[in-house]
Amino acid sequence: MKFELEATAPGTQARAGMITTDHGLIPTPIFMPVGTVGSVKGVHARELRDDIKAKIILGNTYHLYLRPGCEVLRQAGGLHKFNGWDGPILTDSGGFQVFSLSANRKLNEEGAVFRSHIDGSKHLFTPENVVDIERVIGADIMMALDECPPGDSDYAYARKSLSLTQRWLTRGWKRYKETEGLYGYSQAYFPIVQGCTYPDLRRESAKFVADLGADGNAIGGLAVGEPTEKMYEMIEVVNEVLPTDRPRYLMGVGTPANILEAIDRGVDMMDCVMPTRNGRNGMLFTSEGIMNMRNRKWADDFTELDPAGTAFVDHVYSRAYVRHLFIAQELLAMQIASIHNLAFYLWLVGEARKHIIAGDFATWKPQMIERVTRRL
């Protein structure tokens, strides 16, 4: 994997760059649709390519390990061939499930013992076997196994958690360096910065991560309950330490405003389930604000979903029609909303990239944030 920095925006830390992988180019800043179990919910690979203009999607090691399992993925030739997506893929390591499925796991020095959310069976994830699983999945970018502690963790727990994550990282990095991909193309390995909301722990973690010299680095453990301003502060702290010649991936963030603020602070890559999850529940993000498609006000509004922006889906669906589909509980409503929202997110980071290159990102961003946070 290769990263080339193309431009920086005056008065900010915002950057435009290009990541080169064996499955294609990724212009940054970029938003990555989440495909947890090998699919972006309700969206075909063709729609990801042609309508949404996605450049990279995510898969999740925990979920893919449980279903369909490593043997099926190995026989298929990896996730790319299994799901029909021929662009770059990034896989999370399962570390976030250590946090979100805390009732079903136990941590020890060896790794994380999970109880499957499917059938209750017991499994052990170690830094080493997670690398092995991600080799089988075949993602272009693999994430290190870490613990993602709650945002309100006290300092003692955050210190203990970070130390465990660093020991796991040392072992995972060793396994990565002594193994190779299974399908004839290269795989990068990103370590993850942790440390909760404590600046000294974040700096320590960022230095530990940076010293490895990995192809890229991730910022984890944010947007997990801490105040938004604290999240922004931690991004600034971390990016003061992480190298500028490697891409920086902010994990699991967030709203359109969060994304623009993260880009302002030097983040290159982001992902979040919000576009699809909120879309399935009737929330549409547009270039002029946020719409609840179940509201009565859209019942006889025959304008496009986003007339001030661009047509984010194949057909020009009216607000009235999409509201009707939601009220009728028609599955097409969720599909249209998911495609629209993902296409909007990709459009938004594309616009940010244009303004970074043009040099006026600092004046464009606050105007765009005011627009995308309105409730229509």
Residue 38 per-residue DSSP state: S
**pLDDT-wise least confident of 2-11, 45-54, 74-83, 183-192:** 45-54
The answer on pLDDT for 125 being more than 90 is yes
Interval 41-81: pLDDT, tens: 999 999 999 989 999 999 999 999 999 999 999 999 999 99
pLDDT confidence bin for 312, thresholds 50/70/90 = low
Q: What is the mean pLDDT of residues 135-151?
A: 94
Find residue 25's DSSP bridge partners.
20
Give per-residue pLDDT as tens, 232-274. Answer: 999 999 999 999 999 999 999 999 999 999 999 999 999 999 9
> Are 242 and 206 in contact, with CB atoms under 8 Å apart?
yes
- The two structure tokens encoding residue 271: 């992902």
Secondary structure (3-state) at 24 = strand
234-252 as b/e: b if 16+ CB within 10 A: bbebbbebbbeebbbbbbb
**Higher pLDDT pick, 102 / 191:** 191
- How far CA 54 is from CA of 28, 30, 70, 349, in Å, comes to 12, 9, 26, 11
CA 146 to each of CA 194, 204, 292, 373: distance values in angstroms, whole numbers, following the listed order:
8, 15, 36, 33
Residue predicted with more confidence, 309 or 201: 201
What is the Cα–Cα distance from 104 to 87, expressed in whole angstroms? 33
Which residues, 6 or more positions from 354, have their beta carbon under 8 angstroms from its beta carbon?
none
Using CA atoms, how far apart are residues 192 and 99, in angstroms rounded to an integer?
14
What is the C-alpha separation between 279 and 273, in angstroms, rounded?
10
Q: Which DSSP string corresponds to 122-142?
A: EEEE-HHHHHHHHHHHT-SEE
Asked if 215 contacts 173 with a C-beta cutoff of 8 angstroms, the reply is no
Mean confidence (pLDDT) of the chain: 94
Share of the chain above pLDDT 70, in %: 96
Model pTM? 0.96
3-state secondary structure at position 318: strand
Whether residue 89 has pLDDT greater than 80:
yes
Q: What would the pLDDT profile of 158-169 be if each residue is shown by its tens digit? A: 999 999 999 999
What pLDDT score was predicted for residue 114?
84
What is residue 99's predicted lDDT score, i.e. its pLDDT?
A: 63
Number of other CB atoms surrounding residue 226 within 10 Å: 18
CB atoms within 10 A of CB 207: 13
Indicate which residues carry an active-site annotation.
Answer: 92, 271
